[in-house]
Structure 1
Amino acid sequence: MIKRLDVTEEAKRVIHQLAQQHGPLMFYQAGGCCEGTQPQCFVKGGYFPRMNDAMIGLAEGYEFWVDRDLFEYWKHAHFTLDVVDGFGPGGFSLETPLGKTFKVHYRLFTEEELKDLEPVKRNE
């Protein structure tokens, strides 16, 4: 099966650092508002996905949720979670005090990949 989510080496390092500081984590990528569409990292349970939001995979063992409407727009795309230097919009995410911002790089799945995608988990 084709994964919907991958994580860069630099993002993995930051995730491990945050997990050591805060314990279990979760990611949520909203569809707009004050945080834009940047992925946000929270302590697990620090944010509650809405009904029908999509969990597209695990980032170093931690759930990566996408807003239901944003997922409908990006459901044909592969997400690569990365981290860059700088202060992202909102500042709610745990990496902000480190001077980092998580971001996602997208690419469209090929026709072949679309036939064998991992299923998503929906929040019910």
Structure 2
Amino acid sequence: MISRIDATEKAKDLIDKLAKQHGDLMFYQAGGCCEGTQPQCFKKDEYYLRYKDVCIGTINGYEFWVDKDLFEYWKHAHFEIDVSDAIGAGGFSLEVPLGKTFKINYRIFSPDELENLKPLKFNL
């Protein structure tokens, strides 16, 4: 089965560092402006999901949730979480105090990949 989300080694290393510092994590990608334009990392259960938000998979064992409306737009795309060595638009994500910002690289799935995607999880 094809994963909808992966991470660069740089992102995985940062996630491990954040988990050692904060414990279990979760990610959320919103569809709005400002903070919603980049993935946010929170302590697990410290962000309240909206009805029908979508978990597209896990990174290092931590769930990556996407706003239901944003998912509709990007449902044909693979997400790759990466890191920039700069502070992005927001300040609520756990990596910001380290001078880092998570970002997403997208690519469109091939027709064969679309037929073999891992199942989704919905917040109901």
In the other structure, the counterpart of 1:28 is 28
> How far has the Cα of 1:33 moved from its partner?
3.2
Distance 1:54 1:112 in 2: 22
Q: Which amino acid aligns with 1:84?
A: S
How many aligned residue pairs are there? 124
Contact 1:36–1:89 (CA<8 Å) still a contact in 2? no
Question: Structure 1: 5+ residue runs without aligned partners?
Answer: none
Q: How does 1:93-112 map to 2 (within 5 A)?
A: 93-112=93-112
1:36 is paired with a residue whose SS is helix
> How far has the Cα of 1:37 moved from its partner?
1.7
Question: Structure 2: 5+ residue runs without aligned partners?
Answer: none
CA RMSD, Structure 1 to Structure 2 (Å): 0.7
In the other structure, the counterpart of 2:41 is 41
**TM-score (ref. length: structure 2):** 0.98
Runs of 4+ in 1 over 6 A off after TM superposition: none
Q: Deviations over 1:37-80 (max 9, x none)?
A: 20000000110111100000001000000000000000000000
Q: Which amino acid aligns with 1:87?
A: I
